[in-house]
Amino acid sequence: MPKLPGPPSKPWSMKWIALAIILFMAGYTAVTLQYRKPNKAYEPFNDMKERGQTRNLLTAGYQRIPVRIDRPTNPHRHESTVDAKTIPGDIPHTLRESLFDQPVMADSYDQLNAGVHANTLMPYILSVQSVTADLKQQTTAAYVYVRGDRIFIIPEIEKLEGGLLTRRRDNTMRLIIPGGAFKPGDYQVTLAGAKSSLTWALQVH
């Protein structure tokens, strides 16, 4: 005689399901924190692009150094300020060809305050007003490119997101080039802009 089916099994209580989920999440989080790499995730395309650009710059004879930017309330002042000359904008052809992403630069610069001397072990600090094309642009990064006795400082601008606007077309910023960036010697420095640039002599000791 076939066995009659028994009463349906009682479903799990929701509290046990919730407890199981909590225990699983706690264990997963612990394992992730224990074995996760502290550095940023590997990005093959960006890493290959960065290596390729570095190789291009070295082949063309350029050394690239990142520059820190801040916007101080009181601009940095030097006892001996450079007498900068205004020259046509743009960057050297050899440098432009070595860069995968072409920098978007401010139109021009004004109110430059930079020292005529620099110590190879100390940061070289300058303050300047960048004049951009519209109020939706702001300097977000800057790099120094050194080739022989020439130094090119290139601040790069980006469009602000959403409805954000800068207060003025001319924004004072301070550029801090790290110590050790320059070897002792005499240099010609160019602060590169799209329409006009500033250039001055610098002695590093």
Share of the chain above pLDDT 90, in %: 41
Q: What mean pLDDT do residues 166-191 have?
A: 84
Q: Return the residue matching tokens 């989920």.
A: 21
DSSP secondary structure code for residue 83 in this structure: -
Would you say residue 132 has pLDDT above 80? no
Count Cα neighbours of 135 within 13 Å in the Cβ-side half-sphere: 7
The neighbour count for residue 82, using CB atoms within 10 Å, is 19
Considering only 20-24, 114-118, 134-138, 156-160, which range has the smallest mean pLDDT? 134-138
Q: Are 83 and 200 in contact (CB under 8 A)?
A: yes
Our CA angle for 145, 147, 151, nearest 5°, is 50
Q: Return the closest-CA partner of residue 190 out of 155, 139, 138.
A: 155
The residue that leads in pLDDT, 39 or 135, is 135
**pLDDT of the residue at 103:** 87
| Whole-number average pLDDT of the chain | 80
Helix H or strand E segment including 45: helix 44-60
Query: Over the stretch 69-99, which tens digit does the pLDDT of each residue have?
Result: 987 766 556 666 888 999 999 999 999 998 8
Query: Over the stretch 140-177, which tens digit does the pLDDT of each residue have?
Result: 889 999 999 999 999 988 776 555 444 455 578 899 99
Domain ranges within the chain, ordered by starting residue: 14-60, 63-204
**pLDDT of the residue at 56:** 83
Supply the pTM of this predicted model: 0.71
